[in-house]
């Protein structure tokens, strides 16, 4: 793998390999020497808690040097373009660049203007491939399989890079996906990606996993639902709407009382914090795959 810009870059074998590596790395607390001498540059032009922190920790756990730049407080504030920012930082010869940017296609720009392996950590409403990989990893850990699993993705699909990446990833591993939400937030024709759609919340009843999306008000240019109160009443995930044993996931950050009731988020079937934990192992696996593909995990452990 040269870059990870989209789930479309991956075949099923790639997904299996990354999940297997993540499984081997999950819970390893010792620092591994795998990426000694490598420089990982983290470029976040949009806010992040989970993705930025887990990539930074993942790189450090693999002994890479890490350099982090956030748009706020950098020369981006003075109008420096993405191209000039990348050309400037490329002079430090990073081996990998992890980038989050509000513009679709920004990671491709970074790949064009540096020699580094580029990981898309979220570009606009387009893709967030490592989120989809960590979601698959979490589902498999919790339910023991991916093939044949039924996942209901609920809410604001229209503005969601998480949904686009996850639908592609679920198709790749042979899972079934149903998108559920107000018709204004389900893009027309999205069934062509290999999923079903429904507008009534009852459609989640048959799913093994209810995957709740955040209402992304910052990306909404107009009103897509009459009010958040009405959205919560019709599509919010409450204890009454899920059955015992039905797993609930959310990429975070969550809007308690809007798309998900706090009692569900904190309940026994919630995998939300497991997703955060999986993020570290999966991002270690992605960096490993990009920067040390020839070093097997067995060898990694042996030199540790
Ligand atoms: N899920 C996700 O991307 O979270 P952050 O925005 O906190 O990174």
Over residues 256-284, the pLDDT tens digits come to 999 999 999 999 999 999 999 999 999 99
Q: Closest Cα to atom 1, ligand 1: which residue?
A: 251
Q: Convert the pLDDT of each residue in 171-228 to its tens digit.
A: 999 999 999 999 999 999 999 999 999 999 999 999 999 999 999 777 666 678 888 9
| DSSP track, the chain | ---B--GGG--HHHHHHHHHHHHHHTT--SPP-TTTT-EEEEEESS--SHHHHHHHHHHHHTT-EEEEEESTTSGGGGT--HHHHHHHHGGG--SEEEEEESSTTHHHHHHHT-SSEEEEEEETTTB-HHHHHHHHHHHHHHHS--TT-EEEEES--TT-HHHHHHHHHHHHTT-EEEEES-GGGS-TTGGGGT-EEESSGGGGTT-SEEEEPP--GGG-SS-SSS-HHHHHHHH-B-GGGS-TT-EEE--S---BTTTB-HHHHTSTTB-HHHHHHHHHHHHHHHHHHHH-TTS-HHHHHHH-
Q: What is the mean pLDDT of residues 78-90?
A: 95
Indicate the pLDDT class of residue 73, thresholds 50, 70 and 90: confident
- What is residue 303's predicted lDDT score, i.e. its pLDDT? 47
Is the distance from the beta carbon of residue 252 to the nearest atom of ligand 1 less than 6 Å?
yes
Q: Closest Cα to atom 6, ligand 1: which residue?
A: 48
Q: Is residue 302 predicted with pLDDT exceeding 60? A: no
Is the distance from the beta carbon of residue 50 to the nearest atom of ligand 1 less than 6 Å?
yes
Model confidence, pTM: 0.95
């Amino acid at each position: 793998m040269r870059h990870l810009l989209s789930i479309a870059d991956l075949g099923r074998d790639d997904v299996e390999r990354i999940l297997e590596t993540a499984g081997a790395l999950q819970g390893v607390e010792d620092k591994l020497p795998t990426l000694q001498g490598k420089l990982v540059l983290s470029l976040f032009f949009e806010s992040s808690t989970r993705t930025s922190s887990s990539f930074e920790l993942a790189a450090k756990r693999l002994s890479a040097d890490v350099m982090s730049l956030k748009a706020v407080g950098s020369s981006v504030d003075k109008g420096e373009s993405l191209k000039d920012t990348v050309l400037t930082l490329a002079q430090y010869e990073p081996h990998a660049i992890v980038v989050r940017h509000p513009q679709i296609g920004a990671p491709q720009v970074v790949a064009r203007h540096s020699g580094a392996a580029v990981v898309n950590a979220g570009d606009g409403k387009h893709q967030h491939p490592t989120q989809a990989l960590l979601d698959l990893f979490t589902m498999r850990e919790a339910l023991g399989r991916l093939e044949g699993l039924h996942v209901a993705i609920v809410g604001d699909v229209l503005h969601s890079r998480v949904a686009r990446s996850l639908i592609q990833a679920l198709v790749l591993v042979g899972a079934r996906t149903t998108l559920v939400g107000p018709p204004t937030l389900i893009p027309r024709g999205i069934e062509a990606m290999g999923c079903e759609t429904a507008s009534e919340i009852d459609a989640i009843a048959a799913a093994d996993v209810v995957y709740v999306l955040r209402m992304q008000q910052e990306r909404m240019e107009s009103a897509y639902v009459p009010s958040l109160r009405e959205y919560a009443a019709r599509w919010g995930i409450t204890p009454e709407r899920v059955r015992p044993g039905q797993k609930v996931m959310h990429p975070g950050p969550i809007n308690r009382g809007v798309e998900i009731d706090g009692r569900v988020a904190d309940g026994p079937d919630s995998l939300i914090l497991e997703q955060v934990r999986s993020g570290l192992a999966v991002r270690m696996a992605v960096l490993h795959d990009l920067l040390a593909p020839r070093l097997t995990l067995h060898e990694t452990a042996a030199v540790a």
